[in-house]
Amino acid sequence: MVRAWIDANSKGFSLSTITLTRWTELRDAYRRKELRQALYGNDDGPLRDCLLNLHGTEHRDRRRLENRLFRREVFEHWEYDVLGPAVSSILAPFVAAGEGDLVNIGYRLAMNLTATIAGLDVDPADPTQTDTVHRLTSKLSEGATMAHSTRDRDELLREVEAAFDELDNDLLQPAIAARGGGECPRHDVLSVLLANEDKLGLTHEMVLREIGFYLQAGAHSTANALVHSFDLLFHWLPSQAMTPADAAEDLELLQRVVHEGLRLWPASPVALRRATAACDVTAGISVDEGDLVEFDLMSANRDPDIFGTDANDFNPNRSLPDGIPLWGNSFGGGIHTCIGQELDGGVPPDENSIGRPLYGTVAIMLKALLDDGFVPDAHRPPEELRSSTRAHHGNYWVTRTSTQGEHVNG
């Protein structure tokens, strides 16, 4: 499917493509400033001219401004003060029902936080508003992952543009009005953009796409990480003679579960770059201007030279060489390293850390599910997402158990 995306969007560039599969190859290639983002339709895709697609000085200037939000003290506020209260409100109807689709639950948990970060004023306790944001976020995520979609591209683009229109009219414009056009700044992306519109040369449409990007990117990757982590944990617990309740009491373990899940199942299985000039990508591999470089994250994250002979196995207690992230390449690298990496995955415990520990939003959500007694539904096995070639779940049913292990809903 990525090959089809390349063919449809080459626009006169060379179609010479190399694929990198080893850890050291990806590490070197991420550092090459000559390689530009190429997976998300730089010129005509739904994420054109947003941070993800910018390159060079444009990317540097916008990233510097938005980086001001992504500081440790702000992460603490989001994790402890924003996410915590929202989780209870969002899980409440599923707790009452005794069951739910974890894909749906994951999106709802993640999108309220990412909406707050983006600058959209949503109330997680409002079910109608939550339904609307969920529907829009899902559609924008489908557009962002268009390179791996099995659907007709033109039809999907029309649906995504309609979602952007609804996002603009119903959520973005009221949020702008509430901020006085940038005169009432808050700690969110929208406030930063409004305060720097002239400096960055931003149009309203560019602000809209940037807010849409933040809304879907955090929700999509977080929701998928939550489902994979939950699934991997429940397959692993019996081998450790541990119960879900035991795991729920160990947030450091849950964080390692999330990191290992991210390594094995990155939100995007590949990254794609186009060379803006001839360069050496890594030792022994060179490209010409216009050539494409595909980063095979799935293979590099399971490189036995780095992750051991059991690299394909789930092991949250894995020991790695110094300098190797526990999550592999799943947050990217170089200038396009995920700006929300520490929000999603937290910061591994360090005795020298200052402030409250950051376990990451996925680990906090995973603990909440365990605390509420959710387990995989043995009668409804998970199904893969059929509209994409990415390894994501289409649904993953969970059910609640009481403290005695009996199913709440019978």
How do strand 292-296 and strand 17-20 relate by DSSP bridges?
Answer: parallel
Q: Please name the residue ranges forming H helices in 237-328.
A: 244-248, 251-264, 297-300, 304-307
CA distance 235 to 364: 20
407 CB-side CA count, 13 A: 12
Does residue 19 carry a pLDDT above 50? Answer: yes
CA distance 342 to 344: 5
Question: What pLDDT, on the 0 to 100 scale, is given for residue 111?
Answer: 86
Does residue 409 carry a pLDDT above 70? Answer: no
Question: What pLDDT, on the 0 to 100 scale, is given for residue 184?
Answer: 56
CA distance 152 to 142: 12
Does residue 304 carry a pLDDT above 80? Answer: yes
- Residue 3: band (very low, low, confident or very high) from pLDDT cuts 50, 70, 90: very low
Is residue 122 packed enough to be buried (19+ CB in 10 Å), middle (13-18) or exposed (0-12)?
Answer: buried
Question: What pLDDT, on the 0 to 100 scale, is given for residue 1?
Answer: 41
- Residue 11: band (very low, low, confident or very high) from pLDDT cuts 50, 70, 90: very low
Question: Domains (ranges, CATH) in the chain?
Answer: 2-400 (1.10.630.10)
CA distance 208 to 169: 10
Radius of gyration of the chain (CA): 21
In sequence order, what DSSP letters do the residues of 134-172 get, joined into one string? HHHHHHHHHHHTGGGB-S-HHHHHHHHHHHHHHHIIIII
pLDDT tens for residues 116-159?
Answer: 889 998 887 788 888 898 899 888 888 877 777 788 888 988 99
